[in-house]
Structure 1
Amino acid sequence: MKSHATTLLAEVRTFRQNHPDVRYVDLIALDIPGHFYGKRYPIEMLEKVAAGSPLKLPQNAVLLGAQGGLFKIGDYCFNDGDPDANRRLVPGTLKPVSWESQPLGQMLITSDGTEAPIEFEPREVLAKVLERLQHKGIHPVVAFELEFYLFDKKLDNGLPQCARDPLSDDPDDQPNLHIERLSRFSEVLDDMAQTAKNQGIDITVITAEIGPGQFEINFGHQGNGMRAADWAALFCRSTRGVALKHGYRASFMAKPYLQFPGSGMHVHVSLYDGAGNNLLAAHQQQPLRHAVAGCLELLPHCMPIFSPNHNAFRRLGGTVNAATRASWGFEDRDACVRIPESDPRNLRVEHRLASADANPYLVLAAILVGLEHGLEAKREPIAPLNEDRTSGTDFPLEMLDAVRAMQHQPVLRDKLGAEFVDVYCENKRQDHLAFQQEIPAREYRWFL
């Protein structure tokens, strides 16, 4: 513990030396819907926390709904006295914030690794899964890919407007999947990439996607699964900030336009043993098939995680590479679980179903549980799409159905934690019901 505190204290003091103009640091963590919450600390108080002073925030901050409100979930929120819970600083995450008007820092905090971690905190859920896999001698290597849209900074009666192309005001004039669009938006994209790198995030490939103003950012493969999820979470925060600085809005909303493709979160996962051997490639890739079968079996029960809101379900089906059934295939982007072509050393699964606004900690936890379950059950998967284009199993396409499918699934309750599953499902149920409590203009047009 002393060594840990010494390391943190050195990190804070080095940051203060390198950034003497920074007076405050945002201490942030991701809640259930995937939004950051936290507190802004004076830098001198942060040094005290690093030295061992307690860091406490309300436990129920993790339970916030999509709009920040609290729902009654069991005894939480309204019958528990709203207690504080200990958090700790995450080493290596203290970085400068360059997109605000004043010098600022930020640092991740978490309850995992404390004496009483919050069972339903997303980072804690993933931490337990990773710890269990490590005890089994399984070491994941993970890489996220995130799609997002750029919009004009100003909304039009609450509706998004296409990002202003520096060479044209016509969104139809943007060259889709074309390197030229990267050049047209190079100023903001370069700033996003450099800002992410300054946050310690390994940015690799940038792609212009099909939708107008839509892009994809790939991250490097990371042997620390928690750090890979941290990268995805932090990238969303910095990218939104940089976009505003350049006069745009960056959005990871799953389906902002009905007529254009939605934005997804693709996750590449390979599994290795302690000697560095790829577990999926052994025995003529039989473990790969078992792992795929486990993913597909649990996928219908994980839909509230992969599609965490009403809009995310709009993304499924009807556009390019958006599945409506649990399927898999080799080099097939129509599949939920794609097996990219690779040598045995780099054999991996690419899970393509999650929306870009899903919680990266929970998405990765659900994928890893599916792989783990498959390796244990040793079942054969259904036929790949390469052999049968109709292959696949149904999954829920509406939130309340999805919640019912998730809440009582025994494998998820065992491997993600029963308390988390109950809290998460009720949070999603209440969020969905709250969304329905507003009558849209269309309803008046149809029924008035």
Structure 2
Amino acid sequence: MKSPCASLLAEVRTFRQHHPEVRYVDLIALDIPGHFYGKRYPIDMLEKVAAGSPLKLPQNAVLLGAQGGLFKIGDYCFNDGDPDANRRLVPGTLKPVSWESQPLGQMLITSDGTETPIEFEPREVLAKVLERLRHKGIHPVVAFELEFYLFDKKLDNGQPQFARDPLSGDTDDQPNLHIERLSRFSEVLDDMARTAKDQGIDITVITAEIGPGQFEINFGHDSDGLRAADWAALFCRSTRGVALKHGYRASFMAKPYLQHPGSGMHVHVSLYDGAGNNLLAAHQQQALRHAVAGCLELLPHCMPIFSPNHNAFRRLGATVNAATHASWGFEDRDACVRIPESDPRNLRIEHRLASADANPYLVLAAILVGLEHGLETQREPIAPLNEDRASGTDFPLEMLDAVRAMQHQPVLRDKLGAEFVDVYCENKRQDHLAFQQEIHAREYRWFL
């Protein structure tokens, strides 16, 4: 078996053989708000990193706010000397970038698996959850679904404009699910799909969603939870790039239009034992009920993860498939936790609450912790929506309330890490307060 360095070096050299025109590679990782940060490396220097040379970036890059600024969080950022932290290359993620004007490559980097991982790095948080589940003999299989909007490339006084129908030249302002919309936008959608596959992402179904210019992409089920989350993160990056190339803007913003449906991140999760048996199907699906109960118990405390910004809370309570209470149901898209119809082998939950702009590593980590907690406590869930349309428990609908609900929740502090919970909550609190510091034109209209 090849050593990690030998495998990485072979990956870089093979890439160079296939793409001799590429001179630089972006080394990228996801920060807390779900944005990529990193460095652009000459490809010959990347070979040295693959061979074992140190790869270091500032630790505090993970802590950036939604607008890229740094907040004082404990001793981080302003009292710690802004130290570097080790990163490593993620094998199998070195791919060409086709949406830029110049030949380029990109590769994921992470602190997980290094000697001193960053406790609050999103990928490291998920890696620890997955490792703990493996030690318990629990092996998740995961699939993401992401909704997004296409807008016209030009904004109108900062406001998004409907994408123009390539066939008619008119704005695509009629919400519908018609298959013809896939045909009319096939050029950009096909390029998005092709580019995603070039990135190693297993995309499957493409759907025209209800909103104008809104679409959904499904990814294949994967037994590697980290890779499944990698796919979701990388798809957002490549899709934005491809859209610009075709004269559009692609956005995963949770609620770009008040009058139209928001965009969600739906996550399908099955749990298997080492022999391949579906754990959720055990004891006439009693384990499924326990897992659902755990998800619903922790859901109100995970809202800063599922709705990570001010706009994401606008999506909640909308008229189309957006819940206002922690609920579950069989084949019910109004539920936060939906149980799709399936045979026992493929029995799974579909977690539907997160917004499309949430951090996929953290969303998956929070869902898995909820399932794990439910299997441990073995409690019965509330009634499903199929039995009681009013069933459900409240969850916070405003960021500061959500942060308070998350920060001192003992199960989350134990299973996601107390350091992560404190850092994440303070990041969200500071982002929210920074958002409130700008006076918008509406306030002058109302109060001047």
When normalised by structure 1's length, the TM-score is 0.99
Give the secondary structure class of the aligned counterpart of 1:365.
Answer: helix
Give 2:155's aligned residue: 155
Q: CA separation in 2, counterparts of 1:364 and 1:294? A: 14
Q: CA separation in 2, counterparts of 1:253 and 1:100? A: 22
CA gap of 1:208–1:441, structure 2 versus 1, over 3 A, is same
CA contact (8 A) 2:162 2:172 kept: no
> How many residues in Structure 1 have an aligned counterpart in Structure 2?
448
Q: What's the CA shift for 1:119?
A: 0.1
Superposed CA deviations along residues 213-268 of structure 1, whole A, max 9, x for unmatched, are 00000000001000000000000000000000000000000000000000000000
Q: What's the CA shift for 1:171?
A: 3.9
Give the secondary structure class of the aligned counterpart of 1:171.
Answer: coil
CA contact (8 A) 1:126 1:362 kept: yes
Q: CA separation in 1, counterparts of 2:121 and 2:197? A: 26
Q: CA separation in 1, counterparts of 2:213 and 2:313? A: 21
Give the secondary structure class of the aligned counterpart of 1:374.
Answer: helix
Q: CA separation in 1, counterparts of 2:238 and 2:302? A: 28
Q: What's the CA shift for 1:318?
A: 2.5
Q: What's the CA shift for 1:345?
A: 0.2
Give the secondary structure class of the aligned counterpart of 2:27.
Answer: strand
Q: What's the CA shift for 1:168?
A: 3.4
Give 2:440's aligned residue: 440
Superposed CA deviations along residues 91-123 of structure 1, whole A, max 9, x for unmatched, are 000000000000000000000000000000000
Gaps of 5+ in 2: none
CA contact (8 A) 2:86 2:111 kept: yes
Q: CA separation in 2, counterparts of 1:404 and 1:222? A: 34
Superposed CA deviations along residues 57-92 of structure 1, whole A, max 9, x for unmatched, are 000000000000000000000000000000000000
Moved more, 250-259 or 314-323: 314-323
Q: What's the CA shift for 1:166?
A: 1.4
Moved more, 165-174 or 9-18: 165-174
Q: CA separation in 2, counterparts of 1:51 and 1:366? A: 35
CA contact (8 A) 1:174 1:181 kept: no
Give 1:346's aligned residue: 346
Q: CA separation in 2, counterparts of 1:246 and 1:56? A: 36
Q: What's the CA shift for 1:319?
A: 2.0
What is the root-mean-square deviation of aligned Cα atoms in Å?
0.9
Give the secondary structure class of the aligned counterpart of 1:10.
Answer: helix
Q: CA separation in 2, counterparts of 1:168 and 1:75? A: 57
CA contact (8 A) 2:150 2:251 kept: yes
Q: CA separation in 2, counterparts of 1:218 and 1:24? A: 31
Identity in percent: 94
CA contact (8 A) 2:138 2:273 kept: yes
Q: What's the CA shift for 1:167?
A: 2.8
Superposed CA deviations along residues 381-401 of structure 1, whole A, max 9, x for unmatched, are 000000000000000000000
Q: CA separation in 1, counterparts of 2:346 and 2:426? A: 39
| Aligned counterparts, 1:130-279, within 5 A | 130-171=130-171, 174=174, 176-279=176-279
Q: CA separation in 2, counterparts of 1:343 and 1:389? A: 25
CA contact (8 A) 1:175 1:181 kept: no
Give the secondary structure class of the aligned counterpart of 1:269.
Answer: strand
Q: What's the CA shift for 1:126?
A: 0.1
Q: CA separation in 1, counterparts of 2:284 and 2:173? A: 48
CA contact (8 A) 1:202 1:219 kept: yes
Superposed CA deviations along residues 9-61 of structure 1, whole A, max 9, x for unmatched, are 00000000000000000000000000000000000000000000000000000
Give 1:119's aligned residue: 119
Q: What's the CA shift for 1:2?
A: 7.3
Give 2:370's aligned residue: 370
CA contact (8 A) 1:309 1:399 kept: yes
CA contact (8 A) 2:26 2:107 kept: yes
Superposed CA deviations along residues 267-292 of structure 1, whole A, max 9, x for unmatched, are 00000000000000010000000000
Q: What's the CA shift for 1:170?
A: 4.4
CA contact (8 A) 1:165 1:174 kept: no
Give the secondary structure class of the aligned counterpart of 2:37.
Answer: strand
Q: CA separation in 2, counterparts of 1:169 and 1:387? A: 47
CA contact (8 A) 1:70 1:77 kept: yes
Superposed CA deviations along residues 417-448 of structure 1, whole A, max 9, x for unmatched, are 00000000000000000000000000000000
Q: What's the CA shift for 1:176?
A: 1.2
CA contact (8 A) 1:336 1:353 kept: yes
Q: CA separation in 1, counterparts of 2:173 and 2:114? A: 53
Superposed CA deviations along residues 181-212 of structure 1, whole A, max 9, x for unmatched, are 00000000000000000000001000000000
Give the secondary structure class of the aligned counterpart of 1:289.
Answer: helix
Q: CA separation in 1, counterparts of 2:267 and 2:173? A: 31
CA gap of 1:2–1:341, structure 2 versus 1, over 3 A, is closer
Q: What's the CA shift for 1:133?
A: 0.1
